[in-house]
Amino acid sequence: MDKIKSLNIDIAQYQTDYLRPIPNIVTSDTLWNDNILLMNVQWNYTLEINYDKLSQVKEIIQKTCTTEISDEEQRVNAINTFKQLLFDYLSSEKELLKNCGFTCQRLPIIIEKNKEIAHFLLIQICNLDGFEEFLEVFIQTDVTQNTLELFAQLFGELKLPQEYITQYINYCIDFCNNIKEKQQQNKLVRFVSVFIQQMLKQKAFITKDILTDVRINNIQLLAFCIEFSKVGEVSKLFKLVKGQEPASQ
């Protein structure tokens, strides 16, 4: 180092010149964040939603669309089952219902995969706005054993409109008539026949609504009974309908 200094080398000659751009000159007045502007703060009540629970509920709703949760519970021996978590969370915190991912589009899938959960969810939202849209799903989706059983459950617990019940029964009859495969048709006809008998015995409607209402096909129910008279349950339905005719006139 002493030898280098003895050479009298000017170190400044070997320094690199860096290009430094000229900074922009701010001409406008700077707006400072003054605490005085925060005097009128309002509480955000959506913060009351427990988002940890919401994420769990969304996950369970998603799972109900792809998996029969009862089977999953048997396979995974967990203390807090998926189904029980869903019931506990949604029963105690109604706000979760509006954001949990349960939609009209998902209802038909959930009915077929997890009918018990579909029933629970519909009961929970029956007093919320938009419940009618969920009921409309029944007259837009396929008629199956699960949809018939769920509709009967809802009728027993909720006050469904008379016109809606009549409309659904006629929808079921039309759906049966439009099935092309004979074995599948006869199977569904038996389910529908048992369902209509159950509705009649519970006085969900009177046969006059089906037989003479000009808004639907006349004698539609009797025509259904005659068309599928070879199916055992249909003959029972026919006798039940004929037995109620005098009281309906």
Q: Which of 77, 83, 133 is nearest to 113 (CA)?
A: 83
Better-scored residue on pLDDT, 111 or 205: 111
Averaged over 173-190, what is the pLDDT?
Answer: 93
Q: Is the pLDDT confidence value at 100 over 90?
A: no
pLDDT for residue 19: 75
pLDDT for residue 40: 60
Q: Around Cβ 202, how many Cβ atoms within 10 Å? A: 11
Q: Is the pLDDT confidence value at 105 over 80?
A: yes
User: How far apart, in whole angstroms, are the C-alpha atoms of residue 224 and residue 226?
Assistant: 6
pLDDT for residue 174: 93
Report helix, strand and coil shares of the chain as percent, to nearest 5.
65, 0, 35
The one-character DSSP state at 102 is -
pLDDT tens-digit map of 193-242: 999 988 888 776 655 555 444 344 436 788 888 889 888 888 888 888 77
pTM given for the model: 0.69
pLDDT for residue 151: 95
pLDDT for residue 14: 66
CB-count burial class (<10 Å; 0-12, 13-18, 19+) for 200: buried
pLDDT tens-digit map of 31-60: 665 555 555 656 554 444 456 788 888 888
User: How far apart, in whole angstroms, are the C-alpha atoms of residue 94 and residue 124?
Assistant: 8
Contact 91, 121 (CB under 8 A): no
- pLDDT band of residue 115 (cuts 50, 70, 90) is very high
- For 135-228, list the strands marked E by DSSP: none
Q: What is the largest CA-CA distance in the chain?
A: 130
Measured at the alpha carbon of residue 237, what is the angle toward residues 231 and 172, in degrees to the nearest 5? 80
User: How far apart, in whole angstroms, are the C-alpha atoms of residue 217 and residue 109?
Assistant: 30
Contact 237, 192 (CB under 8 A): no
